[in-house]
A and B are shown apart, each in its own frame.
Chain A
């Protein structure tokens, strides 16, 4: 694994010299009855202060496991971890349960995918926010409540003081996600992990929540990891993107690099499958043929090879994640194709996409 050269190129990490989070060679595997599932392998990336890094991939790509592992939420007797993740002075992967508990909620906070089920139904909203504050700070309960009111107002919940006394079921989905964000911010974390924060919400509410996340990033200077499968979300707010496939990062770069100069055929496929308003009508939406790989006993070589129309002999060997173009050292990918070949092959019908003709659908 080549060391990740990305930090220097992180555009939004304006004044920060040291990245906030440095993940190096992270791997996560689970022992199951069928065998070892290698959910995440050799994942390295950094998040700068005030930077929004999106992890994009389809279901089973390892994006959520990566995010959860940073919080220690994937720990279980059958899980094995490798690599390191440094946040400030804290090592996260190897931390003891108690060290991790102190970091969780205080240094790193998480906003989950489904706000409808992520709040405990039997406690009042205010008590749940206060509970987190008091878990990390020795302050009077009244002070914690005042802070909860301020947080609720900040995320745009009207009548915050009265609404603290409401139960989760008395809130709409969008409001609950605001509560989750308020809770995540309650101890001023340095890093906010949002795991598909808008997936369960209406489109109009999605935009509001994303706007909220961006505003908070601007105000607090926290780093944000945004886990999503929705490239529309990414295009809205991400500074940098990691594309994951089969438990590995297959391409990473800035928003512009990924959207206008994608290097990995999987990224082409993702971009090609976004519906476009200016596209021809009555044409089937392109899809990447085949299904995502099973992470159980994955064969050697590029994980995308079985679905890749461009695959050739060399793909039996795992390509390293390296920068291929001297002009953009932060733009790395795992593909053996020559940059010139990539540029030629990714154009289909005048736009970026994955060629589908001639591909056997497995």
Chain B
């Protein structure tokens, strides 16, 4: 267990280093990526641009710039190039929206994914399975921006069932928080429900062929108990690993489309805006945050594995 923690901490450091270097280099390589030009403003003279460049240290070697930026990030003093606002404060302000969106959507997609996957597997080949298969394929292939736009237009604009986007704090107005998030939750989870139900269907079908499932039936257990206690429990492992990574990616700013379509002002939307401005510090911070979330959640996944399957030792 101690070795497990040390290993994971070491991998956090390694992954954060690698991902920050890569992100930093990519933005150096992008054409028209010179931040001095944008910082100096549209009508700046070459001299002004040069002054800005020297002032911000953009004329220094790349490794020095990287070191300086990382130092600012780690001390919490990093500011964005364009708005000159503290990036960590911005991320902190955006985090509740993202966490609310992703956590709620995760509950929905895991729940429906498991129910649909299990139903699909036990009715394999019959009409319910076919119906759920088509539904899953439609879900997987419907882009979030289309689904979001359609929902906003009909459910929000035409029929006034739900508010037209935006985020309300849970602490300010719990009901408003809930109604504002119903459509984003749905839009974000549809894709994952499709994927999870398909993955679970195939693992459940594999598990149904296991000897211990036949043996469980031979014990005279009810079919329901066989399915839930023996089949589902043993089929959850691939779902858990998928879930850990998807959840981490969405928390770390991966729900860009959903957040943007519903104007939730979450971390993903912040990332999207920063990318359009080629504003390196926020992008760097959010990328690192995403990587951090993935590494931490994959450690959590390993712990859950060990709980689900006694053969696995940490």
Contacts and interface: CB of A to CB of B under 8 A. Distances in A.
Interface of A: 71, 73, 97, 101-106, 109-110, 112, 114, 117-123, 131-132, 135-136, 167, 169, 180, 183, 187
Nearest to B125: A77
Contacts of A105: 218-221
B214 interface: yes
B126 to A, nearest CB: 9
Contact of B220 (A106, A117, A169, A180): A106
A114 B229 CA distance: 21
B309 A73 contact: no
Nearest to A68: B214
B56 interface: no
B234 interface: yes
A257 to B, nearest CB: 32
Nearest to A119: B212
Interface string B229-253: 1100110000000000000000000
B223 interface: yes
B210 interface: yes
Closest 7 CB pairs of A and B: A105-B220, A104-B220, A117-B211, A132-B219, A105-B219, A120-B212, A118-B215
Contacts of B310: 121-122, 167, 169
**In the complex, which range does the number of interface residues on chain B fall in?**
20 to 34
Interface centre among A73, A114, A120, A180 (most CB of B within 10 A): A120
B230 to A, nearest CB: 5
A109 B308 CA distance: 28
Nearest to B309: A122
Contacts of A120: 212, 215-216, 230, 234
A117 to B, nearest CB: 4
A283 to B, nearest CB: 38
Contacts of A131: 219, 221, 229
B218 A121 contact: no
Nearest to A116: B211
A112 B215 contact: yes
B222 A101 contact: yes
B273 to A, nearest CB: 46
Nearest to B233: A122
Nearest to A109: B218
A188 to B, nearest CB: 13
A182 to B, nearest CB: 12
A189 to B, nearest CB: 10
24 contacts: A73-B214, A73-B217, A101-B221, A104-B218, A105-B218, A105-B219, A106-B220, A109-B218, A112-B215, A112-B218, A114-B211, A117-B211, A120-B230, A121-B234, A121-B309, A122-B234, A123-B229, A131-B219, A131-B229, A135-B220, A135-B221, A167-B310, A169-B311, A180-B215
Secondary structure at the B interface, as helix, strand, loop or mixed, is helix
Nearest to A133: B219
B234 A104 contact: no
A136 B221 CA distance: 8
A112 to B, nearest CB: 6
Contacts of B222: 101, 135
B223 A183 contact: no
Contacts of A123: 229
A2 B245 CA distance: 65
Contacts of A112: 211, 214-215, 218
Contact of B212 (A71, A106, A121): A121
Given A112-B211, A122-B233, A132-B220, 10 more contacts: A71-B218, A101-B223, A104-B218, A104-B220, A105-B218, A105-B220, A112-B215, A117-B210, A118-B214, A120-B215
A119 B215 contact: yes
Given A121-B234, A167-B310, A169-B311, A183 B212 contact: no
Nearest to A129: B219
Nearest to B216: A120
A106 B211 CA distance: 20
A117 B212 contact: yes
A122 to B, nearest CB: 6
Contacts of A104: 217-220
Contacts of B221: 101, 105, 131-132, 135
Contacts of A167: 310-311
B176 to A, nearest CB: 43
B121 to A, nearest CB: 14
B234 A101 contact: no
A70 to B, nearest CB: 11
A79 B222 CA distance: 21
A110 B218 contact: yes
A196 B215 CA distance: 14
A254 to B, nearest CB: 29
A96 B221 CA distance: 14
Contacts of B210: 117
A122 B308 contact: yes
Contacts of B214: 73, 112, 118
Interface centre among A102, A106, A135, A180 (most CB of B within 10 A): A135
B308 to A, nearest CB: 7
A49 B308 CA distance: 42
A117 B221 CA distance: 18
A336 to B, nearest CB: 39
B118 to A, nearest CB: 17
Contacts of A118: 211-212, 214-215
A192 B309 CA distance: 31
A135 B309 CA distance: 24
